[in-house]
Each structure stands twice: as structure tokens, then as C-alpha cells.
Amino acid sequence: MSETKICLNCHNPIKGRADKKFCDDSCRSSHFHKQTQDELFLYKRIHSILRKNRRILMQLFSPDSSKGSVPKTELQEQGFHFDYHTQEIRKGKNCLYACYDYAYQEINEREVVLLKIR
């Protein structure tokens, strides 16, 4: 007596080949879509944070450098996330943290200098 196979997506009994895992193509497609959905949500969330960080750096950046340093609290108040950046550029002991084409360099624990790269 053979054991009844159950669809991995809808959990209904499967008819047909013994190695079949899904009852039809729509269940197969739905199953794999659910698996990738969480991963895609994570990518979209991270990309959204990076875009926001870039927008904040762009708005606060002053090409004539008359502004000098910017307090970290000013960035944080606008929703900047210091844990998210697209690259770290090391120059000796200094490190630039870039969000696409804008970057910041920590001067001390409270202040950063903003830069446009490339």
C-alpha cells in the first residue's frame, strides 16, 4: 500500500507520479514565491534605508565646505542610520563611509565631515 503524497503548498493529496511534490504548476510557483518573498522584502528595506541616508547626506552637503563639520545628532534627527552604507573607503587611519556618491568621515564621537565622491 502506497503512502498518499501531500502538496507542499496547499497540503491537498497529490495524484500522479510518485516523485511529484506539488499538485499543479500554480502551487509550485506559489510555493517558491513565498520562499523568496521574505528575502526580497529585506532587500527592499535595506535599499530604502540606503536611499534615505544618501538623500540626507546630499541635503546637508555644502560644496564650499563653509559648513565644516555636521553634528551626528543632526543626521540622526533626520533619520540617518549609521550602520548602513554602500562602502568603506580606508585612507590610512581615516575611514570614509559612503552611501553611493556621498560620504562622511568621523572627526570625533560627535561630528562628521560630509564629502561628495566621484
- What per-residue confidence (pLDDT) applies to 78? 96
d(CA 107, CA 110): 8
- Region of 95 please: left (phi>0), alpha (psi -120 to 50) or beta: beta
**How many structural domains does the chain have?**
1
Q: Is residue 2 part of a domain?
A: no
Q: Is residue 56 part of a domain?
A: yes
| Residue bearing cell 518573498 | 37
- What per-residue confidence (pLDDT) applies to 58? 94
- Could you tell me the three cell numbers for 66? 563653509
Q: Which positions of the chain have pLDDT values less than 50?
A: 1
Domain holding 94, by residue range, is 38-116
d(CA 26, CA 98): 43
Q: What share of the chain in percent tops pLDDT 70?
A: 95
Q: Is residue 102 part of a domain?
A: yes
CB burial of residue 8 (10 Å; 0-12, 13-18, 19+): middle
Q: Is residue 49 part of a domain?
A: yes
- Could you tell me the three cell numbers for 55? 538623500
Q: Tell me the pTM.
A: 0.70
